[in-house]
């Protein structure tokens, strides 16, 4: 490492953006957990809502992927 | 392609010893014949090779597999029928029966992304769906198609999608701005979701693979690769499913814009 | 640790390499190539699916649906036939049963009539015989009573004669008769 401040900033920024992935994990867990809680209450209605579950998970996960993308961009592209 | 991978590995091995992290090298587009050189639009590259193999895989499953036309399906035929029924039911459930006109294209999207995701999991292969350029084309094609279908079917009524009549009048303009922004972010998130998921999975596997160079860590690394590989099989299917179902959802907005 | 310094070196080396290439997904010079081949692949997939695969699978599914529907209809028809046959069988059974009942009833009535006739005849015979006997008995009784009266009159006459009385036949008979009545 040559000790450049900008270099250090990139790594710090990439590390910080990794927090976003953990937060997205909380979001995905929230969606799946609530779906499971609802499905156990009313199992007959659960089957028709799997599509909604996956859409919800996809939306929650996309934001985590965005933070991963920020990390990648900081590491390799900026 | 394999030659290129070897060449790249050799190149990197020369740079240092011990742990070498090159998680992103697997996404490089390289010409199939000859190293380096300019990549013009018709150059046969590894991207072309794996796209071609994807088309071949779809052809094998959907055409060769169903050549028997049996009333009681064989194994190969039931895979094709399963995929057909899966997408058919998805469109019916999410978008409605009037969207079955677009069934061939949605089926194309599903089979193409699914096969490409799975082929991308073969070691030393090239995952086209991890490329922003590829997924952006797929997503923007859906975006423009949906927008055009909406305007053709409903004319200016399609703009009612952004004017939420169920909300109080005072906050409708604010909602309209939010709706417009979210509408235009759709293709971006649609494409980056797919590319990001595949990129992330492959990069993580490459990072684990790099740790395998260390004798003490290699069992853990191989275990990690195995676990990640299983997860990535799941992700490969789920991302194809999600891409397709979001296409259906967007199409529903175009066909039935009233909230 | 040796690995640490190696790791740092490697990261630095890797970073230097990456910096020269950047993120491979953002290498704009390869976009035209990817997009061109992607469009070719998509069109090929679309043609394969829409021209060959999907119509074929749709036809197979429709044919299967048709076969299943036909089979179900045939089964339904057979079921109906079986039901009809069962109904006919039931009807035949009921007919036979009622006929048997009729025969039983008729036979019973015939026998009863015969029996009744025989009984009536027997009753009549018995009644005639009883009347005859009664008449005979009455005759016997009447003759017996007469004889008794005669015997009594004769005995009374003899008794009076033996006792030395004057036998007046007429008065003795009258006395005996009145006594016998009393």
pLDDT-derived band at B225, boundaries 50, 70, 90: very high
Contacts with A, B 32-61, CB within 8 Å: none
Chain B residue numbers with beta carbons less than 8 Å from the beta carbon of A76 are 24
Mean pLDDT over B187-194 rounds to 90
Q: Domain of residue B249: give its range.
A: 2-255
Domain membership of residue A12 (yes or no) is: no
Whether A15 maps to a domain, the answer reads no
Chain A contact set for C19 (CB, 8 A): 76
Q: Do B189 and A54 touch (CB under 8 A)?
A: no
- For residue B65, give the DSSP letter: T
Predicted local confidence at residue C127, as pLDDT: 93
Whether residue A6 is contained in a domain is answered as no
Q: Do C32 and B16 touch (CB under 8 A)?
A: no
What is the tens place of the pLDDT at every residue in B148-183?
Answer: 999 999 888 888 888 888 888 888 889 899 989 989
Residue A45 falls inside a structural domain = yes
Q: DSSP letter at B31? A: B
Long-range residue pairs from B142-146, CB within 8 A, at least 24 positions apart, any chain: B142/B109, B142/B187, B142/B190, B142/B247, B142/B250, B143/B186, B143/B187, B143/B190, B143/B250, B145/B105, B146/B250, B146/B251, B146/B253, B146/B254
Residues C11 and B207 sit within 8 Å (Cβ to Cβ): no
Q: Is residue A43 part of a domain?
A: yes
Q: Which residues of C touch A (CB under 8 A)?
A: 8, 12, 18-19, 22-23, 26
Residue A3 lies in a domain: no
Q: Answer whether B247's CB lies under 8 Å from B106's CB.
A: yes
Higher-pLDDT residue of A78 and C100 is C100
The minimum CA-CA distance between C15 and chain A, rounded to whole Å, is 8
C window 92-151, beta carbon within 8 A of B: none
Q: ipTM of the predicted structure?
A: 0.86
Q: Which of B38, B42, B111 sits opposite C45 (nearest CB)?
A: B111
Which pLDDT tens digit goes with each residue over A2-39?
Answer: 668 888 888 899 999 989 989 999 999 999 999 999 99
Cβ of A66 within 8 Å of Cβ of B196? The answer is: yes
- Average pLDDT taken over every residue of chain B: 86
Count of domains for chain B: 1
CB contact under 8 A, A77 and C12: no
* A10 within a domain of the structure (yes/no): no
Helix-, strand-, coil-residue percentages of chain C, each rounded to 5: 95, 0, 5
Per the CB < 8 A criterion, the answer to whether B127 and B234 are in contact is: no
Q: Give me the pLDDT at residue B85, please.
A: 93
Mean pLDDT, chain C, integer: 84
Domain that includes residue A29, residue range = 20-77
Question: Taking all residues of chain A, what is their mean pLDDT, rounded to a whole number?
Answer: 87
Report yes or no: C3 at the B interface, CB cutoff 8 Å.
Answer: yes
* pLDDT tens readout for residues B58-96: 999 999 988 888 888 888 899 999 999 999 999 998 898
* A1–C23 C-beta distance less than 8 A: no
Q: Which of B43, B62, B137 sits opposite C53 (nearest CB)?
A: B62
pLDDT for res A74: 86
Average pLDDT over residues B214-226: 89
Query: Which among A55, A69, A76 has CB closest to B246?
Result: A55
Number of folded domains that form chain A: 1
CB-based contact A73 C23, cutoff 8 Å = yes
Q: With respect to residue A27, please indicate whether it lies within any of the assigned structural domains.
A: yes
Q: How many whole angstroms separate alpha carbon B173 and alpha carbon C178?
A: 151
pLDDT value at residue C12? 44
Question: Would you call A37 an interface residue with chain C, using a CB distance cutoff of 8 Å?
Answer: no
Q: What would the two tokens of residue B116 be?
A: 């490409």
Chain C's closest residue to A75, CA to CA, is: C15
Residue-wise pLDDT tens digits, C58-79: 999 999 999 999 999 999 999 9
Residue B31: beta bridge partners?
B45
């Amino acid at each position: 490492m040559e000790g450049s401040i900008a270099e250090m900033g990139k790594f710090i920024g990439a590390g910080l953006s990794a927090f976003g992935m953990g937060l997205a994990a909380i979001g995905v867990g929230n969606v799946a957990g609530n779906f499971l809680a609802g499905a156990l209450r009313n199992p007959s209605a659960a089957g028709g809502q799997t599509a909604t579950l996956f859409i919800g998970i996809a939306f929650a996960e996309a934001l985590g992927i965005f933070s991963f993308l920020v990390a990648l961009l900081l590491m390799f592209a900026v | 392609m394999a030659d290129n991978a070897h060449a790249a590995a050799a190149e990197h091995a020369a740079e240092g010893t011990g742990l070498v992290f090159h998680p992103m090298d697997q996404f490089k587009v390289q010409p199939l014949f000859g190293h380096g050189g300019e990549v013009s639009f018709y150059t046969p590259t590894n991207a072309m090779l794996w796209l071609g193999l994807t088309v071949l895989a779809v052809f094998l499953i959907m055409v060769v597999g169903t050549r028997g036309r049996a009333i009681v399906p064989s194994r190969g035929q039931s895979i094709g029928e399963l995929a057909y029924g899966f997408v058919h039911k998805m469109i019916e459930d999410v978008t409605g029966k009037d969207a079955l006109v677009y069934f061939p294209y949605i089926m194309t999207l599903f089979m193409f992304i699914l096969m490409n995701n799975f082929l991308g999991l073969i070691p030393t292969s090239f995952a086209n769906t991890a490329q922003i350029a590829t997924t952006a084309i797929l997503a923007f094609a859906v975006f423009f198609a949906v927008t055009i279908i909406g305007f053709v079917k409903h004319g200016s009524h399609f703009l009612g999608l952004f004017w939420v009549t169920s909300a109080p009048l005072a906050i409708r303009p604010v909602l309209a701005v939010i709706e417009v922004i979210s509408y235009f972010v759709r293709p971006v998130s649609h494409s980056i979701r797919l590319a990001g998921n595949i990129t992330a999975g492959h990069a993580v596997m490459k990072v684990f693979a790099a740790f395998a160079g260390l004798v003490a860590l290699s069992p853990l690394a191989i275990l990690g690769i195995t676990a990640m590989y299983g997860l990535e099989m799941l992700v490969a299917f789920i991302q194809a499913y999600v891409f397709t179902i979001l296409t259906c959802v967007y199409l529903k907005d175009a066909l039935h814009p009233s909230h | 640790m040796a690995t640490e310094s190696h790791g740092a070196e490697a990261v630095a080396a890797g970073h230097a390499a990456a910096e020269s290439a950047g993120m491979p997904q953002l290498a704009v010079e390869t976009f035209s190539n990817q997009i061109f081949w992607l469009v070719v692949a998509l069109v090929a997939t679309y043609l394969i699916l829409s021209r060959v695969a999907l119509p074929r699978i749709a036809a197979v599914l429709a044919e299967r649906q048709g076969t299943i529907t036909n089979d179900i209809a045939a089964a339904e028809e057979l079921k109906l036939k079986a039901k009809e046959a069962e109904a006919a069988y039931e009807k035949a059974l009921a007919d036979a049963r009622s006929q048997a009942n009729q025969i039983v009833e008729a036979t019973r009535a015939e026998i009863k009539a015969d029996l009744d006739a025989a009984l009536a005849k027997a009753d009549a015979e018995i009644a005639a015989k009883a009347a005859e006997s009664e008449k005979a008995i009455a005759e016997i009784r009447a003759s017996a009573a007469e004889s008794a009266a005669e015997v009594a009159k004769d005995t009374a006459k003899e008794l009076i004669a033996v006792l030395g009385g004057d036998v007046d036949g007429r008065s003795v008979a009258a006395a005996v008769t009145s006594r016998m009545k009393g």
